[in-house]
């Protein structure tokens, strides 16, 4: 009887496996049918503007196909200098955000939870204030008769007020102030998950604090560092209000170039081509970062 029962049970196992697979597929189909309307809406909202943008970049005012807009970006030195300046100042702000944000995040991660929450609250205070208000505040602080120049003159650091606004320096300062929380938040979240016992174990094995930091703590904090770097750099590429006000028309970034092509010259094709090139650059940045670190770990997954 035992042998017969086994022989009867064996053919049924493949059938049971097929039924499990079939049920799983049905469940997936049902879940897909539930989210399909939302996916369609998201696809329309995302790809319709992008399609219109790409179409506008390859047609002239008469509606004929042309590649003149992209050729202008390649040949016109003004366009090239704008792209170079945008990437240069974005890289500088990202670097300064790393230099300021990493030690700050490390300090917050070492504090008790209650004190860390208070310190983190001061970091995210700028999120509660409009970008326009923060930019005007820096305009008041950095102008020739502002608080910073008055303090420098009173302390005899400089003889005459410095030009801190309407130039490259003022733009970088304003952008750094706005971007710093985007570096601190992912860094702090990553550092907070690092077990303190790991550093203690390294010390017990004879590692000096500096060696333990660079070989234990820093590699574990790298996902947060890369996530913050990506966020800050990509957001800096599309900055508009801060460079417009603090740059004083002398620091022209890509977003300002798009705005001027539309409002001053009514060149929708030229503006669209610049936007498409910027979009391609952002996609390339994401692609390079995905090669360095997986997307799941980049944004906090394990």
Provide the residue-wise pLDDT of the chain in tens; the chain has 302 residues: 455 544 444 455 566 667 777 777 888 888 888 888 888 888 888 888 888 888 988 888 887 888 888 988 888 888 899 999 999 999 999 999 999 999 999 999 988 888 888 888 888 887 788 888 888 889 888 888 888 888 888 888 888 888 888 889 889 999 999 999 999 999 999 999 888 888 888 888 888 888 889 988 999 998 899 989 999 999 999 888 888 888 887 888 998 888 888 887 788 888 899 999 999 988 888 888 777 665 555 555 55
Residue 97 CA to residue 248 CA, distance in Å, equals 23
| Integer angstrom CA distances of residue 216 from 38, 177, 207, 208, 209 | 43, 30, 10, 11, 10
Other beta carbons within 10 Å of 93: 26
pLDDT score for 190: 92
> Domain extents for the chain?
1-45, 68-298
In this prediction the pTM is 0.81
pLDDT score for 101: 94
pLDDT score for 99: 96
| Integer angstrom CA distances of residue 250 from 61, 168, 187, 260, 280 | 29, 8, 33, 14, 26
Residues pairing with 65 in the sheet: 59
pLDDT score for 13: 59
Cα Rg of the chain (Å, integer): 27
Q: Which CATH class is domain 68-298?
A: mainly alpha
pLDDT score for 171: 92
pLDDT score for 90: 94
Burial of 138: CB neighbours in 10 Å, binned 0-12, 13-18, 19+: buried
Please, are residues 32 and 24 in contact by the beta-carbon 8 Å criterion?
no
Phi, psi of 299 (to 5 degrees): -110, 30
pLDDT score for 60: 84
- Please name the residues in contact with 241: beta carbons below 8 A apart, sequence gap of 6 or more: 131, 132, 135
Residue 137 CA to residue 146 CA, distance in Å, equals 10
State the virtual CA torsion across 232, 237, 238, 242 in degrees, nearest 10.
80
pLDDT score for 293: 63
């Amino acid at each position: 009887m035992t042998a017969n029962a086994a022989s009867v049970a064996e053919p049924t196992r493949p059938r049971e496996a097929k039924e499990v697979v079939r049920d799983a597929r049905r469940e997936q189909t049902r879940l897909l049918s539930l989210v399909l309307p939302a996916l369609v809406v998201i696809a329309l909202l995302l790809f319709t503007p992008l399609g219109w943008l790409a179409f506008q970049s390859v047609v002239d005012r008469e509606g004929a196909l042309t590649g003149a807009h992209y050729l202008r970006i390649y040949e016109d030195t003004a366009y090239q200098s704008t792209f170079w300046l945008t990437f240069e100042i974005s890289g500088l702000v990202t670097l300064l955000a790393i230099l300021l944000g990493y030690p700050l995040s490390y300090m917050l991660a070492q504090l008790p939870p209650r004190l860390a929450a208070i310190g983190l609250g001061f970091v995210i205070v700028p999120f509660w204030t409009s970008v326009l208000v923060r930019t005007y505040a820096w305009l008041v602080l950095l102008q020739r008769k502002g608080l910073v120049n008055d303090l420098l003159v009173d302390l005899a650091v400089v003889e005459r007020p410095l030009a801190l606004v309407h130039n490259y320096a003022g733009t970088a300062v304003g952008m750094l102030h706005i971007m710093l929380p985007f570096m601190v938040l992912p860094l702090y979240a990553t550092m907070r998950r690092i077990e303190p016992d790991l550093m203690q174990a390294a010390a017990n094995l004879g590692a000096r604090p500096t060696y333990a930091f660079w070989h234990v703590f820093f590699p574990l904090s790298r996902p947060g560092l890369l996530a913050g770097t990506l966020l800050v750099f990509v957001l800096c590429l599309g900055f508009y209000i801060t460079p417009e006000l603090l740059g004083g028309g002398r620091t022209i970034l890509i977003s300002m170039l798009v705005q001027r092509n539309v409002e001053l010259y009514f060149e929708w094709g030229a503006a669209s081509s610049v936007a498409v090139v910027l979009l391609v650059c952002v996609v390339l940045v994401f692609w390079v970062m995905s090669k360095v670190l997986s997307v799941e770990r980049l944004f906090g997954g394990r």
